[in-house]
Chains A and B, each alone.
Chain A
Amino acid sequence: MRYVVQHRKASYIKFLVVMLSIFVQGFLTLFVVNKLLSGEFFPEDIKNLVAGNPDIFLEGIETGQIVEKVHIELFLLSVVFLTVFSINLRLNIKDSHKITLSIFSFLNIWVYVLSFFLIKLYPAVFSNIYTISLSLLLTVISAVNLMNIIFFTAGKIK
């Protein structure tokens, strides 16, 4: 980013960055929609899915299936994380804000991933932690992405 934005055709690159950010926003929105529709968002839903529920004769998913889900989501979240925060590096804001936001999102990714596994052991606690970390993660990444779009459109970049 550092080398292309300072290029004399910077306005073209800025336009591309804004387009990419809009698509990232679309991805994040669809990610939430997918989680809601597949019953993987709210604590009660994820608890039933992972740990099962004997009252309604529902079996939980196996560890292998959780690992497979985590393997795919970790890839997607890593790519989105790197895309959003590498664009964020060019913004004309304090470095301490960039560091705080990236560390917060990074920790939330790990809490989200680990709670996915731990729901099997302690469903009551970790299903809530799962929903909270996922909500926080998506909110922060979306906010940073929207901030990227606004700053790039307004030209407030280094």
Chain B
Amino acid sequence: MKPAFLLVLMFALLFLGELLTAVYLYLDRYGFSVQKINQYIHGNPEMFIQKKSFTGLLEIHLPHFIAVSVMFFVIYHFFYFFPVKKLYFIAAGITFVFIFLNFAIPFVILTNENVAFTKIFTFLIFIGASVFAFVLSALFTLRKIYQKC
């Protein structure tokens, strides 16, 4: 068994853990309703939720811009070790566009409540692309490990 492929599989599983905690935190804060998204960003005095400021949102989303893009670069660059297909270019492209949109949209919601629904849409595509990246890297690696055994 090649240790390099095992390392890819283990990183993919750690990536899955990261993804699951991200989904939990999204559901906890934003959820899948426009009302909850607006409530998280614009606040709700009845529920003692404070309105988010621009700097408050920046504090959360600024580290995510670099951390998430690094994580996805790492996971997609593993595909270099497998036959390169057009599909990976498309998947990586979609992922990077939706990483940007997912973290940029809360700033737009801060000025315009009507675009809150786009957060759900961008998050779902972002998570879909992440699951695709995880499943593919795990399957490819398992196949390689199986072949080498």
A contacts, CB < 8 Å to B: 64, 67-68, 70-71, 74-75, 77-79, 81-82, 85-86, 89, 95, 98-99, 102-103, 106, 109-110, 113
Contacts and interface: CB of A to CB of B under 8 A. Distances in A.
Interface residues of B, number: 22
Contacts of B6: 99, 102-103
Given A81-B10, A82-B74, A95-B1, 10 more contacts: A64-B24, A70-B21, A78-B11, A78-B71, A79-B70, A85-B3, A89-B3, A95-B2, A99-B6, A106-B14
The 7 closest A-B pairs by CB, nearest first: A71-B21, A78-B14, A98-B3, A106-B10, A67-B24, A99-B3, A74-B18
Nearest to A2: B4
Q: Is the interface of B mostly helix, strand, loop or mixed?
A: helix
Contacts, number: 59
Contacts of A85: 3, 7
Given A71-B22, A74-B18, A102-B6, A82 B11 contact: yes
A64 B71 contact: no
B72 to A, nearest CB: 12
A89 B7 contact: yes
26 contacts: A64-B24, A64-B25, A64-B28, A67-B25, A67-B28, A68-B25, A71-B25, A75-B71, A78-B11, A78-B15, A79-B70, A81-B10, A81-B11, A82-B11, A82-B74, A85-B7, A86-B4, A89-B4, A95-B1, A95-B2, A99-B3, A102-B7, A102-B10, A106-B10, A106-B14, A110-B17
A129 B25 CA distance: 25
Interface in B110-127: none
A86 B7 contact: yes
Contacts of B3: 85, 89, 95, 98-99, 102
Contact of A75 (B1, B18, B24): B18
